[in-house]
Structure 1
Amino acid sequence: MKIDLSGKTALVTGSSEGIGLASAKALAEAGATVFINGRSREKLEAAVAQIGGQARAILADLADSAGHDALVGQLPQADIVVSNAGIFQPSDFFESSDDIWERHWQLNVMAGVRLARHYLPGMENKGWGRFIFLGSESAFNIPVEMIHYGVTKTADVALARGLAKRMAGTGVTVNSVLPGPTLSEGVTAMLQEQREKTGQSLEAAGAEFVKQNRPTSILRRAATVDEVANMIVYAASPLASATTGAALRVDGGVIDTLM
């Protein structure tokens, strides 16, 4: 099985690090011309250097329509879009202000809505396209420590399913990918205090986090960003032509359901 994305243009948002960067690298290795996106020029330049090849960067904050307009102004069309930009912030429900809810909603949900509204018609005109939303196991296993985040990820999964139906018969697929706990930079930072106290390796601290906070995990460890990127690249490829409207799990079995 060989994934060949030669001649395809891919956009991965929120891709200066973490799952986004791993996905951008893997898409480029498969032959795609990759555009990455983020809010830090320095991080984007470093990411482009890591990816190499034909990678290009677009500096834009997708938390509002002005940032969206800046991005699509530089990249009017794309064959593959991975709507990965997002944030998470542990905060008890009763201490989570409207501002926390709004910031998560705008970046985790509305950024993807705007991207889909712009790019899907162009994909339909070409008769081929792949649009992938980054969901999370938290979409189904709402984390009590950040209910606001779980709600936005549930919305992403529902959005992907609805758009897949909207694009039925066009040659364009829309899916969501659901990582479980993953050793991204954000999770690494969250585990730093524990590591300093215990002297644990990152992998051991990740496994301890999974054991305590995601006890239904079958994998019993945190995934790597590359493991999540592998699913994203498959969903973005011609090989996934019969996969649409799906919530593709890379959650290590955290979601305790047969479906």
Structure 2
Amino acid sequence: MTKAEFEGLRAIVTGGASGIGAAVVAALRDRGARVAALDLRESPDSTDGDVVSVSADVADDASVRRAVTDVVERFGGLDILVNNAGIGAQGTVEDNDDDEWRRVFEVNVFGMVRVSRAALPHLRRSSSATIVNVASIAATAGLPQRALYSATKGAVAALTRAMAADHLAEGVRVNAVNPGTADTPWVGRLLAVADDPTAERAALEARQPHGRLVSPEEIAHAVAYLASPLSGSTNGVCLAVDGGMQDLRLRK
């Protein structure tokens, strides 16, 4: 890792104020990029010059377009988009009503569509244009009580491959990361309301072959690899960052 790798490049990270998004912002900044962290609320701490905080609601097209225009005007262009903003959902296919299905798809899928649609005209002007979507192990493995969430992340994985095909000739690479269960504030909130948080955390850790939750920094490192100009032959990939959960079948 060197600052020269991303020197002069300009990035947007949605959901950049906390969790995986904040780790991605830090990883890109540390590698030399200028980064805009888009989130529902601006962060007063993002004032170091290389990171700016911009308010945006990915569920609202006008808000997204204003935010992307703001970033492009500040930075003079755009090279990297990381579609990270997302919300969780629990339950079987019976447990959530139509409104909840629409709410989660609005953020997890349509949000990526809105931000990508607003960013693409600017990305096409870059010689290092790339989009990285954050999907999930839920896109490739059947997890209990995650029907709605899994449906949205499966859509993200399929969307990633379709976008990679659509925009290859325009010089825009599109990839995704599929994190396993990560040690994020959302998982922390789920554990806090469990009947036995300690036992629930142990179960989540045991589900992953390496026996622990994935760190946001590990996911951010994978995002940085996919976003790097050095990865010009990596396109249409969904990269698992899950301790082996997707593919390994270990003997006990």
Give me the TM-score of the superposition, normalised by structure 1. Answer: 0.87
> 2-side partners of 1:2 and 1:54: how far apart?
16
Structure 1 170/2 Cα, relative in aligned 2: closer, same or farther at 3 Å? farther
- Counterpart position of 1:146: 146
Give the AA of the match of 2:26.
K
> 2-side partners of 1:101 and 1:86: how far apart?
13
Correspondent of 1:69 among 65, 68, 72: 65
Is the Cα–Cα contact under 8 Å of residues 78 and 126 in structure 2 kept in the other structure? no
Structure 1 92/235 Cα, relative in aligned 2: closer, same or farther at 3 Å? same
Correspondent of 1:60 among 56, 72, 75: 56
- Counterpart position of 1:229: 220
> 1-side partners of 2:224 and 2:202: how far apart?
26
Which structure 2 residue ranges, 5 or more long, are not aligned? Answer: none
Computed over aligned residues only, the root mean square deviation of the Cα atoms, in angstroms, reads 2.1
- For residue 168 of structure 2, give the secondary structure of its aligned residue in structure 1: coil
Is the Cα–Cα contact under 8 Å of residues 161 and 174 in structure 1 kept in the other structure? yes
Correspondent of 1:246 among 229, 237, 242: 237
- For residue 16 of structure 1, give the secondary structure of its aligned residue in structure 2: coil
Give the AA of the match of 1:236.
A
- Counterpart position of 2:32: 31
Deviation at 1:141, TM superposition (A): 1.3
- Counterpart position of 2:44: 45
Deviation at 1:93, TM superposition (A): 2.0
> 1-side partners of 2:121 and 2:66: how far apart?
19
Alignment map for 1:188-199 (pairs within 5 Å): 188-194=188-194, 197=196
> 2-side partners of 1:153 and 1:102: how far apart?
14
Give the AA of the match of 1:18.
G
Give the AA of the match of 1:248.
L
Alignment map for 1:171-186 (pairs within 5 Å): 171-186=171-186
Deviation at 1:257, TM superposition (A): 6.7
Deviation at 1:92, TM superposition (A): 3.0
Give the AA of the match of 2:141.
N
Deviation at 1:105, TM superposition (A): 0.7
- Counterpart position of 1:118: 118
- Counterpart position of 2:203: 208
> 2-side partners of 1:149 and 1:197: how far apart?
23
Deviation at 1:197, TM superposition (A): 4.7
> 2-side partners of 1:6 and 1:74: how far apart?
21
After TM superposition, which residue ranges in structure 1, 4 or more long, deviate above 6 angstroms?
Answer: none
Is the Cα–Cα contact under 8 Å of residues 207 and 222 in structure 1 kept in the other structure? no
> 2-side partners of 1:108 and 1:197: how far apart?
29
Deviation at 1:2, TM superposition (A): 3.9
> 1-side partners of 2:35 and 2:196: how far apart?
40
- For residue 122 of structure 2, give the secondary structure of its aligned residue in structure 1: helix
Give me the TM-score of the superposition, normalised by structure 2. Answer: 0.89
> 2-side partners of 1:70 and 1:249: how far apart?
33
Verify: 1:11 aligned to 2:6, yes or no: no
Structure 1 157/257 Cα, relative in aligned 2: closer, same or farther at 3 Å? farther
Greater per-residue helix proportion: 1
Give the AA of the match of 1:35.
A
Deviation at 1:243, TM superposition (A): 0.4
